[in-house]
Amino acid sequence: MNGVLLLNKPRGMTSHDCVMKIRRLLGTKKVGHTGTLDPDVDGVLPICVGSATKLVQFLTAETKEYIGEVTIGYSTTTEDATGALLERLPVSATFSSEQIDSVLREMIGTSEQVPPMYSAVKVDGKKLYEYARAGLEVERPQRVVTIFKLERISEIIHTDELVKFRFKVHGSKGIFIRTVAVTIGEKLGYPAHMSDLTRIASGNFKLTDCVTFKDIEKDDFDLLTIDVALADFPTVKVDTWIEKLIRNGVKLREEQISPPMKDGKFLIKSAQDGSPLSIHEWSEERQGYISVRGLF
């Protein structure tokens, strides 16, 4: 069994839990996920099975979409609803839709983001949440992230000295939506946290295309082929002679790939049967195309 399984990850399970369960359900050890989702977050989690585990590093999408909820009025240690209370400030203001929508528009674009202490980002080889659980605070590396779209998708609820609303965000790889929620609160002058989150897309993989564990248990699912999973990759086809060179691990000369592919990784397929052969990239140092991953 080989291919990519689009899983609608349930809440209450880690990404690793999902991998272990799929190994058991499908009867194979060769299973890997393409990027973690926090236990309390549900939604799109692409899972590679069998020979498709070769694709794991290439299916970590550059962009992702989420639907979340921000609660304004108190912050938590984890920046989400699972953490301990950090700061409380009852909301005395009544925010208009124009005020909030203006803040959201202001946040669209590229900026630097500091990862939460409760995250899997590594500092000196150790995950930040390991420091946090030990009661240690360490300097966190800033990362550049981009918000392409951020919009409110619900009414604004003022209740119990709190303000809540739901939002939809389309962001770059590595963005923390928990921190987006905290920033919304900061810009409105109050502590805040992310109180709900669902990933609705990872690259071109959509939530509407995902299956549940119940579907898998009923054998009501399909795996995406390697071909389909890499549909977004620039692609070239090569003749049998070049295919032989690829299978033997030989560096390809510039003139052996047409059209030229010098702007990143690309997929090479066999012109004979269309099967995927490898992922290659141009090397200035070696002045040739080198294999990043064989797929045969």
CATH number at residue 170: 3.30.2350.10
Q: Are residues 213 and 178 in the same domain?
A: no
- For residues 240 and 219, state if they share a domain: no
Give me the pLDDT at residue 115, please.
74
Residues 21 and 102 in one domain: no
Residues 147 and 23 in one domain: no
Shared domain check, 107 and 23? no
- Residue ranges making up the domain that contains 40: 3-60+204-228
Please check whether residue 1 is in contact with residue 22, taking contact to mean a CB–CB distance below 8 angstroms: no
Least confident of 47-61, 130-144, 227-241, 268-282: 130-144
Residue entry with tokens 């272990």? 20
CATH code for position 274: 2.30.130.10
- Regarding whether 184 and 215 lie in a shared domain, the answer is no
pLDDT at position 283, please?
95
pLDDT of residue 287: 93
The answer to whether residues 24 and 56 belong to one domain is yes
3-state secondary structure of 32: strand
Is position 239 annotated as part of the catalytic site?
no
Given 17, 38, 222, 227, which residue is catalytic? 38
Same domain, 185 and 114: yes
Q: Please count the other Cβ atoms lying within 10 Å of the Cβ belonging to residue 67.
A: 18
Q: Do 11 and 44 belong to one domain?
A: yes
Which among 34-48, 50-64, 135-149 has the top mean pLDDT? Answer: 34-48
Instruction: Select from 45, 83, 30 the least CA-distant residue to 195.
Output: 83
Looking at the 3D structure of the chain, how many domains does it have? 3
Q: For residue 268, count other CB atoms closer than 10 A to its CB.
A: 25
Mean pLDDT of 61-87: 94
pLDDT, tens digit, 9 for 90 and up, residues 241-259 = 999 999 999 999 999 999 9
Domain identity same for 154 and 169: yes
Looking at the structure, do residues 133 and 160 belong to the same domain, yes or no? yes
Confidence of residue 59 (pLDDT cuts 50, 70, 90): confident
Q: What is the pLDDT of residue 131?
A: 77
pTM for the structure as a whole: 0.87
Single-letter amino acid, residue 59: L
- One domain for residues 73 and 197: yes
- Per-residue pLDDT tens over the stretch 135-186: 777 777 788 999 999 999 999 999 989 999 999 999 998 899 999 999 999 9
Q: What is the pLDDT of residues 285-295, one digit of tens each?
A: 999 999 999 98
The residue with greater pLDDT, 245 or 226, is 245
Lowest-confidence segment of 56-60, 72-76, 200-204, 239-243 by average pLDDT: 56-60
